[in-house]
C-alpha cells in the first residue's frame, strides 16, 4: 500500500540505478530536504541547535566516515576520536594562521589533513587484519591525543592547553564564536552533511566502493580478480578520515567552540562513533544517520522525560539513561544483528506487500 511500485516504470539504466529507485522513497527524501532547509531554520532556537541538531548532524558525518572504513571496507578502527582531534586541531591552526580565508575552506582543508594522517595510520592495515588492526588504530587514538596535549605548538602555546575558535563569518554571518545565530550554525552543518552524504553514496556504489566491498568480503579473492589491496585499503582510510576530520573540525569550531583534547576526543568518542555504526548498520548510509540519531537523541529525550516531565532526581535519571540505552542496544542487536538499517529494510519489504502478504 505505502510502498506501491505498480506503475513506477524505469526506461533507462540511469533511472534504474538512482539512489532512491522507488518513487515514494524519492519524494520522502525530497520532503525531508525541504523541511530541513526550508522549515527547520525558521523555528530552531539555541537549545534545539546545541542539544539536538548540531550533535546529530556532526556525529552523522563521523558515522558515515567510519562506516566507509568499517562497514564498506571491513577495516575495524578505534581511532575515530584521534582523527576527529586531527580535524579539530588542523582547523584551529588554519583558522588562526589564515584568518582571512573562509571557514568553509578551512574545514575542507582540515578534512584533507586528516585524510593524510589517516593514510599514515592506515599503513599497518596492509599487513594486519581484524582485532590486530583494531589495536593498531587504538594506538593512533592514544598517540594523537597525547601529541596534542604534549606539543604546545598545536594549541598556540595557550596557558591551559585548550583551543578556542575565534569568530569567523561567511557572507557576513557569524558561524563560529559566541554570538552565532542558531539557524546559521545549523544550516552550515546541514550543507556539509548533505554534500558529504551525497559524496559517500556515490563513492560507495561506484568502482571505488565496489573495490572496498570486495576487500571486505574476501581480500584474497579480491586481489585475484584484480583489486589492488594497497590502493583500496588506503583510499578507504583516506576517505574515511576525510569525513571524520570534517566532523572533528565542525565539532570543535561550530558546536563546542572550545575543546580540551583529552576529554572531548578521548577513547570514549571512538567507541561512541563505533557504536553508532554498529547499531545503525554496517555498510549503510541511512544506518549512519539512524545510529547517530539513536545515540544522540535518545539520551536527550530520556533526560527530558525523566527530569523535565516526571521531575525525578537528576542522578537517578542519569543512571536509568545508561541502563535503558544499554538495554536497548542489546535488544536491538539480538533482534536484528545488522542494525537499524536492516530493520528499516525489512519493514520496507513488508510494507511493499502490505496488506496482501504471500
- CB atoms under 10 Å from CB of 335, counted, come to 9
- Report the site for another protein in 192-231 (rule: CB under 8 A): none
Residue 341 interacting with another protein (CB under 8 A)? no
Q: What angle do CA 240, 230, 278 make, to 5 degrees?
A: 35
Part of the chain binding another protein (CB under 8 A), chosen from 4-12, 157-165, 203-211, 231-239:
157-165
- Residue from 5, 16, 217, 263 touching another protein (CB under 8 A): that is 263
Using the minimum distance from each CB to another protein, give the nearer residue, 25 or 167.
167
Calpha distance 129→152 (Å, rounded): 35
Residue 48 interacting with another protein (CB under 8 A)? yes
8 A C-beta contact, residue 184 and residue 173: yes
Nearest approach in angstroms of CB 89 to another protein is 16
Part of the chain binding another protein (CB under 8 A), chosen from 69-77, 117-125, 297-305, 336-344:
297-305
Part of the chain binding another protein (CB under 8 A), chosen from 74-82, 112-120, 227-235, 293-301:
293-301
Q: What angle do CA 72, 73, 78 make, to 5 degrees?
A: 100
Residue 16 interacting with another protein (CB under 8 A)? no
Half-sphere exposure of 7 (CA within 13 A, CB side): 5
The site for another protein, by CB under 8 A, has a size of 44
Using CB atoms within 10 Å of the CB of residue 300, give its burial: 0 to 12 exposed, 13 to 18 middle, 19+ buried. middle
Nearest approach in angstroms of CB 12 to another protein is 32
Using the minimum distance from each CB to another protein, give the nearer residue, 2 or 225.
2
Residue at grid coordinates 555504526: 277
Nearest Cα neighbor of 260 from 92, 139, 116, 99 is 92
8 A C-beta contact, residue 136 and residue 75: no
Using the minimum distance from each CB to another protein, give the nearer residue, 164 or 284.
164
Residue 50 interacting with another protein (CB under 8 A)? yes
Calpha distance 104→101 (Å, rounded): 8
By rule CB under 8 A, what string of x and - marks binding of each residue 313-332 to another protein? xxx-xxx--x----------
Part of the chain binding another protein (CB under 8 A), chosen from 40-48, 112-120, 196-204, 278-286:
40-48
Residue 345 interacting with another protein (CB under 8 A)? no
Q: Which residues contact 215 (CB under 8 A, 6 or more apart)?
A: 73, 74, 222, 227, 229, 232, 233, 236
Using the minimum distance from each CB to another protein, give the nearer residue, 133 or 256.
256
Nearest approach in angstroms of CB 352 to another protein is 21
Residue 305 interacting with another protein (CB under 8 A)? yes
8 A C-beta contact, residue 60 and residue 76: no
Nearest approach in angstroms of CB 213 to another protein is 29
Alpha-carbon distances, residue 126 vs 77, 109, 219, 225 (angstroms): 14, 26, 11, 18
Using the minimum distance from each CB to another protein, give the nearer residue, 120 or 258.
258
- Phi–psi pair at 137, nearest 5 degrees: -75, -30
Calpha distance 207→195 (Å, rounded): 20
Residue 309 interacting with another protein (CB under 8 A)? yes
Residue 138 interacting with another protein (CB under 8 A)? no
Q: Which residues bind another protein (CB under 8 A)?
A: 46-48, 50-52, 55, 149, 159-162, 164, 166-167, 177-179, 256-258, 260, 262-264, 266, 293, 297-298, 300-301, 303-305, 307-309, 313-315, 317-319, 322
Amino acid at each position: 500500500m505505502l510502498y506501491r511500485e505498480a506503475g513506477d516504470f524505469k526506461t533507462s539504466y540511469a533511472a534504474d540505478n538512482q539512489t532512491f529507485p522507488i518513487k515514494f522513497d524519492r519524494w520522502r527524501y525530497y520532503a525531508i530536504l525541504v523541511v530541513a532547509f526550508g522549515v527547520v531554520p525558521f523555528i530552531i532556537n539555541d537549545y534545539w541547535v546545541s542539544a539536538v541538531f548540531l550533535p546529530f548532524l556532526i556525529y552523522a558525518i563521523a558515522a558515515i566516515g567510519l562506516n566507509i572504513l568499517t562497514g564498506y571496507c571491513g577495516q575495524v578502527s578505534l581511532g575515530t576520536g584521534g582523527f576527529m582531534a586531527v580535524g579539530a586541531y588542523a582547523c584551529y591552526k588554519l583558522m588562526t594562521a589564515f584568518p582571512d580565508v573562509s571557514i568553509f575552506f578551512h574545514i575542507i582543508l582540515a578534512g584533507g589533513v586528516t585524510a593524510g594522517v589517516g593514510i599514515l595510520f592506515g599503513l599497518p592495515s596492509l599487513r594486519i587484519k581484524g582485532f590486530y588492526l583494531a589495536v593498531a588504530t587504538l594506538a593512533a587514538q592514544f598517540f594523537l591525543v597525547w601529541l596534542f596535549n604534549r606539543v604546545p605548538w598545536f594549541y598556540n602555546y595557550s596557558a591551559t592547553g585548550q583551543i578556542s575558535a575565534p569568530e569567523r563569518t561567511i557572507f557576513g554571518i557569524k558561524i563560529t564564536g559566541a554570538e552565532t545565530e542558531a539557524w546559521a550554525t545549523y544550516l552550515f552543518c546541514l550543507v556539509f552533511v548533505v554534500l558529504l552524504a551525497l559524496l559517500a553514496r556515490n563513492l560507495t556504489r561506484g568502482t571505488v566502493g565496489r573495490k572496498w566491498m570486495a576487500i571486505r568480503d574476501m581480500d584474497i579473492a579480491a586481489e585475484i580478480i584484480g583489486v589492488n589491496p594497497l590502493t583500496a585499503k588506503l583510499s578507504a582510510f583516506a576517505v574515511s578520515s576525510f569525513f571524520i576530520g570534517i566532523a572533528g573540525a565542525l565539532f570543535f569550531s561550530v558546536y563546542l567552540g572550545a575543546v580540551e583534547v583529552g576529554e572531548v576526543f578521548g577513547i570514549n568518542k571512538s567507541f561512541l562513533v563505533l557504536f553508532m555504526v554498529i547499531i545503525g548498520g554496517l555498510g549503510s548510509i541511512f544506518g549512519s544517520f539512524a545510529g547517530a540519531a539513536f545515540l544522540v537523541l535518545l539520551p536527550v529525550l530520556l533526560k527530558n522525560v525523566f527530569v523535565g516531565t516526571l521531575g525525578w532526581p537528576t542522578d537517578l535519571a542519569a543512571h536509568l539513561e545508561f541502563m535503558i540505552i544499554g538495554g536497548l542496544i542489546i535488544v536491538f542487536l539480538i533482534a536484528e544483528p545488522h542494525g537499524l538499517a536492516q530493520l528499516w529494510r525489512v519493514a520496507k519489504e513488508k510494507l511493499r506487500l502490505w496488506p496482501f502478504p504471500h
